[in-house]
């Protein structure tokens, strides 16, 4: 019988300087993994590693930049001896202004695609050899439930997360022969600092349309990532796990 054991796994989480990324990092550490917290916000990544303690490590990274991703991989090798799991969580999210799709600034559109799409590609292509060298591994890409519902005034973000799902299916096919699984987490609106700053009354936003009549907390989301990285999901690849309190089907 397989179990949820992640003891000794070497996990790299991008965008782990706060919010969901930090929650993923803490959850994997709690499950016995070594965790390298990476973020463009180096102080935030350091803080996450400090919260973890002896199994926590940190590194600054700009996921849009190939050399920076290479430096992150070198850091994973130096600090943990390699990597078994990569969580592509870094994204432009809470800072994005909501605008009708026709009025989104071109430079903002390009920045969203650079971080949310190209960043996932850069980090994945840098870490795939490490995961293969480990005899197999797991990439978990963080998309968004907005891909399935649409989200007005936010087309750049929704488009970027749709691309993440499409890329994940392709990577799953390319990497499956090396026992590297690639799956997607698609959270609904979840209470992070970024979400709370995004709209007024965030805690009640959309709750009336959901099956579960409450706001989603980061603890509601992290279990999906633990499952996807674990032996319990050993035959699961190319899939998208929606955790949204039952909003999408209503
Ligand atoms: N909170 C939600 O409701 C929600 C819902 C669905 C999906 N998501 C996704 O979950 C992830 C985390 O969201 P969050 O709410 O914690 O927001 P957040 O803004 O706190 O997290 C994003 C993190 O990415 C980092 N980052 C940004 N650009 C980077 C770059 N170029 N290189 C490296 N790091 C970079 C930021 O510093 C930040 O720590 C994002 O991918 C977001 O799109 C969030």
**CATH number of the domain within which 23 lies:** 3.40.50.720
Please check whether residue 248 lies inside any domain of the structure: no
pLDDT at res. 1 = 59
Q: pLDDT tens for residues 165-213?
A: 999 999 999 999 999 999 999 999 999 999 999 989 999 999 999 999 9
CB 225 within 8 A of CB 24: yes
Which domain range does residue 88 map to?
10-243
Write out pLDDT tens, residues 212-238.
999 999 999 999 999 999 999 999 999
Task: Please state, in angstroms and as integers, the Cα–Cα distance from residue 37 to each residue in 72, 80, 120, 218, following that order.
Answer: 10, 12, 16, 17
Is residue 217 a contact partner of residue 206, using CB atoms and an 8 Å limit? no
Ligand 1 neighbourhood includes 82 CB (under 6 angstroms): no
CA-based angle 121:40:109, to the nearest 5? 55
The pLDDT assigned to 3 comes to 73
Which ligand 1 atom is nearest residue 192's CA?
15
> What string of DSSP letters covers 184-224?
EEEE-SEE-HHHHHHSTTGGGTTGGGSSS-S-EEHHHHHHH
Q: Is 205 labeled as catalytic in the residue annotation?
A: no
* 250 lies in some domain: no
Tokens 């674990």 label which residue?
A: 230
What predicted TM-score, i.e. pTM, was given to this entire model? Answer: 0.98
Q: What is the pLDDT confidence band of residue 2, given thresholds at 50, 70 and 90? A: low
Q: If DSSP codes are grouped into helix, strand and coil, which group holds residue 90?
A: coil
Query: Residue 44: is its pLDDT beyond 60?
Result: yes
What pLDDT, on a 0 to 100 scale, did the predictor assign at position 113? 98
231 inside domain: yes
Binning pLDDT at 50, 70 and 90, where does residue 4 land?
confident
Is residue 1 situated within a structural domain? no
Number of domains, the chain: 1
Tens-digit pLDDT profile for residues 69-108: 999 999 999 999 999 999 999 999 999 999 999 999 999 9
Instruction: Report the C-alpha gap between 59 and 43 in whole angstroms.
Output: 9
Q: Are 7 and 31 in contact (CB under 8 A)?
A: yes
Alpha carbon of 172 to ligand 1 centroid (Å): 23
**Within-domain flag for 93:** yes
Helix, strand, or coil here: 235? coil
Q: Is 184 in the pocket of ligand 1 (CB under 6 A)?
A: no
């Amino acid at each position: 019988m397989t179990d949820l054991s992640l003891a000794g796994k070497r996990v790299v989480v991008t965008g782990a300087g706060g919010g969901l990324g930090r929650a993923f990092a803490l959850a994997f550490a709690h499950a016995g993994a070594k965790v390298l917290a990476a973020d463009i916000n180096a102080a935030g990544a350091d803080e996450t590693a400090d919260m973890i303690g002896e199994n926590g490590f940190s590194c600054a990274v700009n996921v849009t930049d190939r050399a920076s991703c290479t430096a992150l991989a070198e850091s994973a090798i130096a600090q943990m001896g390699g990597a078994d799991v990569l969580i592509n969580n870094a994204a432009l999210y809470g800072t994005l202004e909501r605008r009708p799709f026709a009025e989104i600034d071109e430079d903002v559109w390009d920045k969203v695609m650079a971080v949310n799409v190209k960043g996932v590609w850069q980090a994945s292509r840098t870490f795939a050899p490490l995961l293969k060298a480990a005899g197999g591994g797991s990439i978990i890409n963080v998309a968004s439930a907005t891909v399935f519902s649409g989200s007005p005034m936010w087309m750049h973000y929704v488009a970027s997360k749709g691309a993440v799902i499409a890329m994940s299916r392709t990577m799953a096919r390319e990497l499956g022969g090396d026992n590297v699984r690639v799956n997607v987490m698609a959270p609904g609106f979840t209470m992070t600092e970024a979400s709370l700053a995004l709209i007024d009354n965030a805690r009640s936003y959309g709750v009336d349309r959901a099956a579960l009549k409450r706001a989603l907390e980061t603890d509601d989301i992290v279990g999906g990532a633990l499952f996807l990285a674990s032996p319990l999901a050993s035959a699961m690849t190319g899939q998208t796990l929606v955790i949204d309190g039952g909003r999408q089907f209503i």
